[in-house]
Amino acid sequence: MAKAAIYSLTVLLAVMFVIPLVWMFVVSFKPEGVSAITISEWVDFSNLTLQNYKKVLTESQILRWTYNSVVIGAITTIITVFISSLAAFAFSRKTFKTKGFWFILCASGLLIPTEAMLIPLYETVLNLDMLDSKWGIILPSLTNPLGLILIMQFMNGLPKDYMEAAQIDGCKDLRLWWSIYMPLTRSAMISIGIFYFIMSWNNFIWPYIIINTEENMVLATGLPTFLANNVLHVNTIMTASAIAAIPTMVVYVLLQKHIVQGVSMTGVKG
Amino acid sequence: MRAQHGAGARWKKHLKLEFSAIAFLSPFLIPLIVFYIWPLVRGVWISFHSWGILGMQKFVGLDNYTKVWTNGDFFKYLWNSFYFVLLIVPIIILLGLLLALLIKRKIPFQTTFRSIYFLPYVLSVSVISFIWLRMFDSKHGLVNVILEAIGLSPINWLTDPSAAWWSIVIATVWWTVGFVMVLFLAGLQEISPDLYEAADIDGASASQKFRYITLPGLSSVMKVQIFFQIIAGLKLFGQVQIMTNGGPGDVTNTIVRYIYVTGFKKDMFGLAAAQSTMFCIFMLLIAAVQYLFMNRKQS
């Protein structure tokens, strides 16, 4: 009895979670002006149309924004994982006097978010002539300390024998990192990389501030710009949202295991 | 003579170790210094000036800070952000915990439920804001239709000052509670099953097991989550910018949006930098308070 009640609650909550998404898709296939708010409208399949999709795809640069988001996400993720791993290697496997100082400096990035330093960061990027460009988005987001700390913890857990054996073989540090520590921490880095990609994909305020030509926008900022500049029906809004949501939802379904693993890694130990 | 030589060699060796380590750190350190440390320092410098985006600058000392201090807006919007934190953190932690407990055991479609609860998290802030903007539409929004269907009166979600914050809270909880759930699920897995078995043998009730095994087992995840959620709440910008534009009036204007408007819409960089600096100090204070609080509880 109690079990049945708990199970019904689980189902009910799941239904409440998917309704907004289902509604978004339903409305996106309805003709303009039909907001599909009654059950009869939901199950009425006679008036489905692809007109909204055609409209959004031709009138906005949504595919271009998706492409920008993917490229920026990929570059950010790859660079961050590599530089975090290199730094983690130094912190985990090298002994040097100023270690504590550098570590605190690196970890201090956890304390103050970009949101609290918008003005001087804008000025810095302006002086480097990177406003309205990909690198203006990518470079300020590279030094998230979370990945560094996680990879470092992972490396701390590896036996030191590898290092000693490799040093006896005359292996230089850089090769040691590249051919032993990188492969050994592969699974951790994939999880962290996915987490970084999601963060980059969802990054909103920074691209919103520094990008002003439509062509250079990312998905998260192009969408509100497109919808603010045009008077649109609910159907067009939902269609644009659906097109923006589809790639992430597909990737999520495919990589679910890694994504969930990546997220849980960042929280439990972070 | 020989001793001195030895010390010199050792010193040289240290220096070599130092440099080789810093070489490994530098790809991380250089962007950190350019895009984090430098802007932090630069921000303080800018805050002592009257400064426009186009570069007209004049040293004004503490004028900007006096303005921030005497004009009540800064604290009003800081309070707004804090108010959002007070609303959302308990809800998101409790709901996240509930969802994790619901699907902890082997039940039919367990992974499907997990996928569904987590799904909104992978959408970007603009997608979720537009979905909920339409969901909360007073005439054609699904939320009011459902309210009316079950016999409740409709609410002007986005234009009623007392409902506007709840619209933002509901949208944000829906968007990110799956994240909290996944972390609690991971925390639950780290609790040894032996503890529950032992409790069963001793005849402990379900609520006793929850109180004395589950909750203590989750305490470290809980602390980290509360910390993250407070910081995330204080950063609130996207949902407000898209869904309410800070309105109705300025009811949902947050501190981040206030700094954004001061700097980028009104072109008062110096003033906005002073606001930023004070906001940074506030964030550091929050972090320090939490650090002290957590450490005290442990000992």
pTM: 0.90
Q: Would you state the structure tokens that stand for residue A84, as one six-digit string?
A: 């975090």
Position B88 pLDDT exceeds 70: yes
pLDDT, tens digit, 9 for 90 and up, residues B136-186: 988 888 899 889 889 888 899 999 998 999 999 999 999 999 999 999 998
Position B53 pLDDT exceeds 70: no
Q: To which CATH superfamily is domain A50-268 assigned?
A: MetI-like (1.10.3720.10)
Strands B57-59 and B49-51: antiparallel
Return mean pLDDT, chain B. Answer: 89
B51 φ, ψ (degrees, to nearest 5): -140, 125
Under 8 Å CB-to-CB from B73, ≥6 apart: which residues? Answer: B258
Tell me what ipTM this predicted complex has: 0.89
Higher pLDDT, B10 or A140: A140
What mean pLDDT is predicted for residues B192-221?
88
pLDDT, tens digit, 9 for 90 and up, residues B217-255: 898 888 888 988 998 999 999 999 999 998 898 999 999
Task: Say what the pLDDT of residue B297 is.
Answer: 57
Task: Say what the pLDDT of residue A189 is.
Answer: 87
Interface of A with B in 22-61 (CB under 8 A): 23-24, 27, 35, 37-38
| Nearest to A97, CA basis, from B287, B19, B93 | B19
Position B95 pLDDT exceeds 50: yes
What mean pLDDT is predicted for residues B182-210?
88
Position B2 pLDDT exceeds 80: no
Q: Which of A38, A105, A115 to mutate: most B Cβ within 10 Å?
A: A115
Task: Say what the pLDDT of residue A269 is.
Answer: 46
Burial of A19 (0-12, 13-18, 19+ CB in 10 A): middle
pLDDT, tens digit, 9 for 90 and up, residues A93-125: 888 888 999 999 998 888 888 888 999 999 999
Q: How close A258 gets to chain B, by Cα (Å)?
A: 12
Q: How confident is the model at residue B296 (pLDDT cuts 50, 70, 90)?
A: low
Q: How confident is the model at residue B55 (pLDDT cuts 50, 70, 90)?
A: low
Interface of B with A in 89-118 (CB under 8 A): 99, 102-103, 107, 112-118
Q: How confident is the model at residue B101 (pLDDT cuts 50, 70, 90)?
A: very high
Q: Is residue A87 a contact partner of residue A106, using CB atoms and an 8 Å limit?
A: yes
pLDDT, tens digit, 9 for 90 and up, residues B258-286: 999 999 999 898 999 999 999 999 988 98
The ranges assigned to domains in chain A are 1-49, 50-268
Q: For residue B271, what is the nearest residue in chain A, using CA coordinates?
A: A119
Question: Low-confidence residues of chain A, pLDDT below 70?
Answer: 170-171, 266-270
Of B28, B224, B256, the CB nearest to A106: B28
